[in-house]
A and B are shown apart, each in its own frame.
Chain A
């Protein structure tokens, strides 16, 4: 799947600006950012499920086929079969009136024309594949009768039912307990490897993205501000926003006391993400950055290649402004 220069605009606001993303078969891509930064919108673009009020421009190609202005019925043929998606709230994402087995059997019967009994056998195999305990008994249960982690496994089984080449997981672990979340992440990675299925993993949890993906994008205010190999970006974040996200993460390294005996504190990013209709001109992050200089308020920074596939859009890194200041962490 190939997105180039994709923008999504709503009346007076830009939710996603000129995003170019290429997803190869079997690749695992993480998308991180705070709420409202456009990461879910990017996920919806991959499914053709941007709300009706949104204007999508640019190019979205699936296996070479242009889909950016494709009508709903064209997209529908690709959903579940080529691209599938799982969502944040596993409880709310399952139809409460259907047994979970029937939920998973439905696309098999509709899209692949399987009989009930064949579909049930396939659903059983899928439940085994996603590691649901006692899968035969699970088939007959309702969503309210199983746990959150199990519901997410059911949703993964549903998404896998028609063997999609790409699975978009929008905050799949946010609503789950930490240890359940870890097991779901490992399951997604294992499935991506065994099925050679591409995975787009959308999350604000850097640890989850680190565990799940090879490549990552950092988004802010509808822009992709930094991208590169996940390990590289997390080890050497170059954009001030990425640095801020990493600094704001409660982890072992910011426990305890500093050498001068003061208690270490979490470094948080000041302020909140501005609403989409009220983003600053110039760099979207100006106002919260703390390292601003002359061009930040006026000019949009362009991505700068930083080697090893990493790039970031920040004036501090741009050769045009070389020598002006230094980024923390760049040294």
Chain B
């Protein structure tokens, strides 16, 4: 009972404190402190509620139990990460986004193909492609290759659609200017169309970071060697070792955020000229 009361008090205090902090003058600092405090409060209340209500570990493990599971299983988690992310997801991401990029450039000259590809690509990008996982597992075996193939299928169309749109993002006036310079097709491509397509390309790349992880993890539910994040999640769920599952989810969340952050960082470097980036970095 005392745990529950403590949880309630902490929640009210943190709420008041956040409400107070949110109206403070230092915007930049508060933009970091307030969400951190919110996250911390959630964790503390979670811990207290699990202890106070005596929630069994097979339903919801306490954050401390998850941290313990994380540190005791760190080698397993690392091996799973290598198998699922560095082998499966990253290989598929590179191949899928790379080939979509090249396809977009290849069909850029034909308005006819572009007009046909956009609706079809948009349609295919909205489909539950992750369902192709059993087929790819059948074709490429249980190893990481089948996971990479699923990821390729998942990221290809979102990337392609974004890239095709991006390549037509340059304005007629700008293209005319390139013509008056006597620029060849490939010069126009390199100096005008590709740079203009970069905001769209990065939009696609960012969407695909999450898709690639989802694809690699879900594909492992359909068959996998004895390691991998999706394999670990499904087997540990079966053994009701939910603290390990949560530890694995923390790893997935961390690597997903880092991957996304990395792509966003590249985006800032490449599309520094775009208004949405310029506006943010202005003092």
Whether A and B are associated in the same complex: the answer reads no
Chain B contact residues, CB within 8 Å of chain A:
none
Chain A contact residues, CB within 8 Å of chain B:
none
